[in-house]
Structure 1
Amino acid sequence: MNNDLHKADNIQKKNEFQIINNMFFSSKKKDPIKVIDTKNQDLELITKMNQELARSLDLTETLQDSLELIIKRINAQAANIFLIEEKKQVFQCIASKYQSYLEDFEIPITQGVMGKAVYNKKCIRVGDVRKDVREIAEFYFDLDNKTNFTTYSVLCAPLIVSDECIGVIHCLNKKSQSKLFEENDRKLLETLSGPVALAIRNAKMAKDMVVKNRIQKEIEIVGEIQKTLLSKNSNGNFPIAGINIPAKVVSGDFYNFSEISEGIYGFGVADVSGKGIKSSLLMSKASSLYRCLSKTIFSPAKLLNILNNEICETTTRGMFVTMLIGIYNKSKKELLLSNAGHEPPLIYSYDKKFTNFTDAGPPLGIAPKVEFVEKRISFEKSSMYIFTDGITEIRDQKGDMLGPEGFQNYISKYQNIKNNERLQKIIEDLISSGRIQKDDLTIVTVDGE
């Protein structure tokens, strides 16, 4: 009997222990908490953005798509991209999502979170724009009023390429109960700003290259048009020939010659000051005027008077044209010449002596109402060489200029060759000698019988 009581007591104690153990140490097994791998999500987002930006043909559309991806990942209410306009020193919006009218405003680059992000070259997070007055400037609230938007929290990352800040990417308002961005959001936007900045810079470089190529094409077209304004050399027995080798695509030199009537020939050679498009445009104007007027006016001095007055009225201050105009009368064996500040032409006579025609007035475009004079000289068994300063100022590798004397040596060397071939030989010899061309090379020769 005692033995049965002892067994019952042990069973009761065991049951009580099990109950207590279950109460304190046993619980129902819970399902494991699912942890979202944001790092993989961020890596996928960065990869996708890089691919989209790299193959984009329409940067504006791609930036809009990128902003949409960023908004979804960061859970922002709005986002936009501002670039720095260097001349004005302002931010200009080039892409925006869910905030309107930003393209209508220019924001000084010294103001607000955007200005601070650019200055410090780091991504800035403003938790609450109404409390953290150290980070936010008044213009944000002014911009809210103009765009009908309410800003609570801001993320702003500078767009940096090669240590140069070209703009910012800007996110507004976390779509959460607090509406405030967190530090992880800031780090992510800082990472995403890199490929965006690189894509914008590459697109800008590509656009600049397209513009540059278009301008180059247009310059080449101008150069081709200019060539049509120059008189063509004759393969026959024509007493005048010319050659022009531009230093660049377009030229500031010009020449024209023609037979006015039987045995009477008119010619003009001009050099516009400076280089580049401005000079070539002025040259085109002067040459067109000369070609038109020389068909009805057979006085070199009168032609220069008219040209000078016209150029003085329309040319840019500081620009001028040197020009020599002449008429060769084959039967009378004489030249009628008038010079407006041009290089004195060289005359090479049959007895192998050189002389200069030194009479000259001021260049065209310097002073209006100048009365140019013309002079008649005998011209028999001689050749006159009218040239621009690019010929005499061409330098050898030591830096020494050719000069009039050096040019005379080339004339003497090739004088017995037909005029158009002669000029070609002179130019070829000049260039092949290693001389450095920095200006247009132009020569016109008139051969007298």
Structure 2
Amino acid sequence: MTIEHAKQLVDSGANPRLTGDMEMLLAISQDFVGTPAMSETLANAIRQIMVYMDTEAASIFLLDAANEKLTCLACAGPVSIEGLTIARNQGIVGRALSDNCVQMVRDVSADGDFSTAVDDSTGFTTRSILCAPLVVKGRMLGALEVINKRKGDGLFDLADKQFLQVLAGMVSLAVHNAQMTEALVEQERMRRELDLAREIQRDLLPDLPAVDFPVQGLNLSAMEVSGDFYDFFTLADGRIAWGLGDVSGKGMNAAMLMAKTISLFRCLGKTVHDSALLLAMLNDEIVETASRGMFVTMAAGIFDPVSGEVVFANAGHQPPLYRTPEGVYCELEESSPPLGIVPGMEYTEQSLILDGGRLYIFTDGVTEGRAEDGKMLELGGLQALLDKHAALPPIAQLTHVAEALVRPGIRLHDDLTLLVIG
């Protein structure tokens, strides 16, 4: 029942007692508006309700997320039952929810649903109960309960029942608003954390090099954070170490494993210049902490800009794609398993002389991306895009490939990462 409904009852003379109680009802309503936090809302509400209803005790029970259990989140009186959890259909509180109406029990000893367990454990004596369900727009939230009226014969009457029903309507709205506020606060907290995670991930990727630098990369995330990564850096002798990987799964777990792998690669890759050995070391490190069956596919190697030689190893990743200056393609296949599955793995190196061609390493988000016709790009589509923009500088070529897959109103199904050497 809302305030407007209460006013209608007053105007109609249905319950003259409500006329005298209107000021306190409005005061409670204003207090609820002024305290949007759930714990403060309930604590303030239950203390005021116990005073206004002139009862010995009062409590508010709320349903859990599964709508299976009721927990007392606020109470007032000589003993505390805060934290007490009961089944949804248990006791008089549960009956209020099941029947979706106020329960007035003037003598609990004559009610078969009343349990003496709480009284036995606390020493409190329950004589009479008034309990109203908390409902907003048909959604059951919990129940409001008052115990043992102080004045008169100590029994609740019809006026008490109607008054509690009005209070329950107010409490329901207050709880609903508090839950909505908490949900918004939690969403904002998660958004800030995701923004921070995204920023950290961006910082882990290499800075954009000069346009004429012989190794270029690009990464676009399908979600707030990415499970793909790439990296490259110049060694002391002028060669360029590079790596590209794809973590299984999506979301924060994948992003955390991505951060660990790229950090290990950058740390170990500065001193370990044998690509096969480097992947073996990464594998053993990842195996120790990988969880939920997660793994990493990765290709890593070293490029010598002077000789044009690329030496690399592959841990379960898609075969790198070599394009000759004449436009002929060759997949450089390798059957070694991904990182993080079996300890003690050994990997093998391959070598290639670019001779004016370009080597492309990419994640499956590229070939499985949707082209303009709605179909997967696949390897043939990627080759066609690379051919179409072959005359452009490497980074511009990669950008055009990405633009063919990222269009307004189209969400990526997977992270998209490309690396080009040459």
Same fold (TM over 0.5): yes
TM-score (norm 1): 0.86
Native 8 Å contact 1:242 1:445 kept in 2? yes
Q: How far 1:161 sits from its partner (Å)?
A: 1.6
| Greater RCO, CA 8 A, separation 6+ | 2
The equivalent of 1:39 in structure 2 is: 18
| Paired residues of 2:336 and 2:347 also in contact (CA < 8 A) | yes
CA distance in 2, matches of 1:343, 1:435: 25
Whether the 8 Å contact between 1:394 and 1:435 is mirrored in structure 2 is no
Counterpart-to-counterpart distance in 2, 1:87 and 1:325 = 47
Deviation larger for 282-291 or 392-401: 392-401
Are positions 1:297 and 2:276 aligned together? no
Q: 2:7 matched to which residue of 1?
A: none
Aligned to 2:111, which of 126, 133, 137? 133
- Judging changes above 3 Å, is the alpha-carbon distance between structure 1 residues 273 and 262 closer, same or farther for their aligned structure 2 residues? same
Partner of 2:240: 265
Q: Name the CA distance, whole Å, in 1 between partners of 2:40 and 2:162.
A: 25
Deviation at 1:254, TM superposition (A): 0.6
Alignment map for 1:100-139 (pairs within 5 Å):
100-130=79-109, 132-134=110-112, 136-138=113-115
Which residue number corresponds to residue 151 of structure 1? 126
Q: 1:118 is paired with a residue of what secondary structure? A: helix
- 2:191 alignment partner, one of 198, 216, 226: 216
Structure-2 change in CA distance of 1:287 and 1:331 (3 Å): same
SS of 1:157 mapped into structure 2 = strand
Q: Which residue in 1 is equivalent to 2:310? A: 335
String of CA shifts for 1:324-382, please: whole Å, max 9, x gaps.
01111233332112111111111111112111111231111222222111112222111
Which of 53, 76, 100 matches 1:74? 53
Aligned residue-pair number: 408
Structure 1 pair 440/120, CA: closer, same or farther in 2 (3 Å)?
same
- Deviation for aligned residue 1:103: 1.6
Offset at residue 224 of structure 1 (A): 0.7
SS at match of 1:206: helix
Q: CA deviation at 1:87?
A: 4.8
Q: 1:346 to 1:209 in 2, by over 3 A?
A: same
Distance 1:72 1:435 in 2: 58
- In the TM superposition, residue 62 of structure 1 has moved relative to its aligned partner by 4.1
State the secondary structure of the residue aligned to 2:235. strand
Tell me the residue number matched to 2:9.
Answer: none
Q: Which amino acid aligns with 2:18?
A: K
Q: 1:172 aligns with which of 144, 147, 151?
A: 147
Distance 1:174 1:56, change over 3 A: same
Structure 1 residue aligned with 2:420:
445
What is the aligned partner in structure 2 of residue 50 from structure 1?
29
Q: What residue in structure 2 maps to residue 91 of structure 1?
A: 70
Which of 187, 197, 203 lines up with 2:162 in the alignment?
A: 187
Of 243, 261, 283, the residue aligned with 1:308 is 283
Please say if residues 36 and 174 of structure 2, whose CA atoms lie closer than 8 Å, have aligned partners that are also in contact.
no
Distance 1:169 1:338 in 2: 66
Inter-partner Cα distance in structure 2 for 1:304 and 1:58: 51
Q: Structure 1 residues 261 and 88, CA, compared in 2 at 3 Å: closer, same or farther? A: same
Query: Quick check: 1:286 aligned with 2:265?
Result: no
- For the residue of structure 2 that corresponds to 1:214, the secondary structure is helix
Deviation at 1:137, TM superposition (A): 2.5
Aligned partner of residue 406 in structure 2, secondary structure: helix
Unaligned residue ranges in structure 1 (runs of 5+) = 1-35
- Residue type at the aligned position of 1:133: D
Q: Contact 1:394–1:436 (CA<8 Å) still a contact in 2? A: no
Q: CA deviation at 1:271?
A: 0.5
Instruction: Tell me the distance in 2 between the aligned counterparts of 1:46 and 1:102.
Output: 26
Q: Secondary structure at the match of 1:103?
A: coil
Deviation at 1:436, TM superposition (A): 4.7
Whether the aligned pair in 1 keeps the contact of 2:304 and 2:310 (CA below 8 Å) is: yes
Q: Decide which moves more: 270-279 or 111-120.
A: 111-120
Closer, same or farther: CA 38–436 of 1 in aligned 2, 3 Å: closer
Match of 2:3 in 1: none
1:354 is aligned to 329
Once residues 98 and 83 of structure 1 are traced to their aligned partners in structure 2, the CA distance between those partners, rounded to angstroms, is 18
Q: Paired residue for 1:17?
A: none
Partner of 1:3: none
Deviations 1:131-178 (Å, cap 9, x if unpaired)? Answer: x233x322xx22123333111110011111222221111101111342
Check whether the contact 2:230–2:243 (CA below 8 A) recurs between aligned residues: yes
Structure 1 pair 360–233 and aligned structure 2 pair: CA distance change class (3 A)? farther
Within 1, Cα distance between the matches of 2:207 and 2:404?
Answer: 22
Q: Which runs of 4+ in 1 moved over 6 A?
A: none
| Displacement after TM superposition at 1:213 (Å) | 0.9
Relative distance call for 1:303 and 1:45 in structure 2 (3 A) is same
